[in-house]
A and B are shown apart, each in its own frame.
Chain A
Amino acid sequence: MALSDAQLERYSRNVILKEIGVKGQKKLLAGKVLIVGAGGLGAPAAMYLAAAGVGVLGLADADRVDLSNLQRQIIHATPDVGKPKVASARETIQALNPDVEVRTLEGLVQADNVLELVADYDFVIDGTDNFPAKFLINDACVLAGKPFSHAGIIRFKGQTTTWVPGQGACYRCLFVAPPPPDAVPTCRQAGVVGALAGVLGSLQAMEAVKYLTGVGQLLTGRLLTFDALSMDFRTIKVARRPNCAVCGPTPTILRPVDLQPAVCDLKAAKTA
């Protein structure tokens, strides 16, 4: 299908790039990206992918918009406080670009629905805020052979890597298993700068755009780390773990497993 005049204008800065062009824009319009977590990472990722004209954006999040989210979750605005995040995000995306079909799951992504969910998409963005969810998404994407972008942020630091079937280390190669619940702080406990979430979420969107259009080198087999205080970006080459429990030659994880309740506030998790 040819691009309409309005689409040629809307996406002119993509189309003018020789690496993307009309052909690449059509790939974006035919692309389907699932974003798990419509928060600090998911908000900028969703907005840039919507602006770029990615045809289908899936959003999964169980939470409602809280006033404390607005410092970084730029897809939500003050009148959205109290709304489900997926509903608020949908409104922003639809206002931004009506070309985009938004599919929402207002609920937790868990072992019993994650494989079905990722199956409908070309690329997955992990914008979750806790280790059990990050491991769940990794395992599900590896098991389903679904390319995905991982990212984590805390205080002034962030890191991201991309996994594509057969290419490079998965998240479980880097970190074998989640740390105990109170061993590593969350953003809620430790804080995070909004613009840092924007940097990392935008990098994840960049990887999705590159994957869909087939342009450039993905962050496969590399962990990009960013320290906002020193403004140092580094890419660390990471090898696959020969005995990785999910992507190794003799995997012991054969289906996704819920490791513990997927909640952000660990204190709440412990008392629940």
Chain B
Amino acid sequence: MDIIVSGVKKTFAEGLTVAQLLIEEKVESPEYVTVAVNEEFVEGEAKAARILTSGDQVEFLYFMGGGR
């Protein structure tokens, strides 16, 4: 199945969860990364429960604290 991850189409095995995608994509410190699937936030235990389906659009939002 194809999933759009941060705007890029990628192919994954069926049944992939959000939690597994975070590992597959080697997202650093995933506990501090906001995940949105189709513009809906997926958090906490829902990350392990949410099974992705073909065409899903996943975005990772990262903390960026600098400015000065």
Q: Are A183 and B32 in contact (CB under 8 A)?
A: yes
> How many contacts between A and B, using CB within 8 angstroms?
87
Q: Are B39 and A153 in contact (CB under 8 A)?
A: no
Say yes or no for A187: interface residue by CB 8 A criterion: yes
For the complex, give the distance between the alpha carbons of A175 and B32 in Å. 9
The residue that B67 contacts in the complex, of A153, A157, A176, A241, with Cβ under 8 A, is: A153
Q: Are A37 and B68 in contact (CB under 8 A)?
A: yes
Q: Are A127 and B41 in contact (CB under 8 A)?
A: no
Q: Are B36 and A127 in contact (CB under 8 A)?
A: no
Per-residue B-contact encoding for A121-138, CB less than 8 Å = 1, 0 else:
000001111110010000
For the complex, give the distance between the alpha carbons of A33 and B58 in Å. 35
Q: Are B39 and A184 in contact (CB under 8 A)?
A: no
Q: Are B68 and A154 in contact (CB under 8 A)?
A: no
Q: Are A234 and B67 in contact (CB under 8 A)?
A: no
Q: Are B68 and A264 in contact (CB under 8 A)?
A: yes
Chain B nearest CB, measured from A123 CB (Å): 17
Contacts of A154 in B (CB 8 A): 64-66
Q: 8 Å CB contacts to A: which residues of B35-68?
A: 36, 39-41, 59, 61-68
Given A234-B6, A238-B39, A241-B41, A184 and B68 contact (CB-CB distance below 8 Å): no
Q: Are A186 and B65 in contact (CB under 8 A)?
A: yes
Contacts of B65 in A (CB 8 A): 129-131, 134, 152, 154, 184-187
Q: Are B61 and A152 in contact (CB under 8 A)?
A: no
Contacts of A184 in B (CB 8 A): 29, 32, 63, 65
Q: Are B61 and A174 in contact (CB under 8 A)?
A: yes
Say yes or no for A239: interface residue by CB 8 A criterion: yes
Q: 8 Å CB contacts to B: which residues of A144-191?
A: 151-154, 157-159, 174-176, 179, 183-187, 190
Q: Are A152 and B32 in contact (CB under 8 A)?
A: no
**Residue in chain A with minimal CB distance to B63:** A184
Given A183-B29, A234-B6, A158 and B36 contact (CB-CB distance below 8 Å): no
Chain A nearest CB, measured from B29 CB (Å): 6
Q: Are A152 and B68 in contact (CB under 8 A)?
A: no
Say yes or no for A101: interface residue by CB 8 A criterion: no
